[in-house]
Amino acid sequence: MNFGICTSPEISPHFAQAGFDFLELNVQQFLQGEAEESVFLAEWEKARRSPLPCLAANCFVPGNLKVTGPAVDPVRIDAYLSTVCRRVEIAGIRTIVFGSGGARNIPDDFCRAEAWEQLVSFGRLAAGAASRHGVTLGAEPLNRKECNVLNSVKESAAYVLEVGHSHFRLLVDS
Assess if residue 139 is contained within a domain.
yes
Closest to 150 (Cα-Cα) out of 114, 173, 119? 119
Assess if residue 1 is contained within a domain.
no
Residue ranges making up the domain that contains 132: 25-170
pLDDT, residue 4, reads 93
Residue 17 pLDDT > 90, yes or no?
A: yes
Assess if residue 10 is contained within a domain.
no
**Mean pLDDT, residues 6-23:** 94
pLDDT, residue 145, reads 96
- Consecutive H or E run containing 131: helix 112-131
Residue 130 belongs to a domain with what CATH number? 3.20.20.150
Assess if residue 3 is contained within a domain.
no
pLDDT tens across 62-93, in order? 999 999 999 999 999 999 999 999 999 999 99
pLDDT tens across 126-166, in order? 999 999 999 999 999 999 999 999 999 999 999 999 999 99
Q: What is the DSSP string of 75-129?
A: HHHHHHHHHHHHHHHHHT--EEEE--HHHHPPPTTS-HHHHHHHHHHHHHHHHHH
Closest to 168 (Cα-Cα) out of 132, 134, 123, 133? 123
Assess if residue 9 is contained within a domain.
no
pLDDT tens across 94-113, in order? 999 999 999 999 999 999 99
pLDDT tens across 46-67, in order? 899 999 999 999 999 999 999 9
Closest to 155 (Cα-Cα) out of 112, 107, 96? 112
Assess if residue 20 is contained within a domain.
no
Assess if residue 4 is contained within a domain.
no
Residue 174 pLDDT > 90, yes or no?
A: no
Assess if residue 94 is contained within a domain.
yes
Backbone dihedral angles phi then psi of residue 77, each to the nearest 5 degrees: -60, -45
Task: Give me the number of domains the chain comprises.
Answer: 1
Band (pLDDT 50/70/90 cuts) for residue 173 is: confident
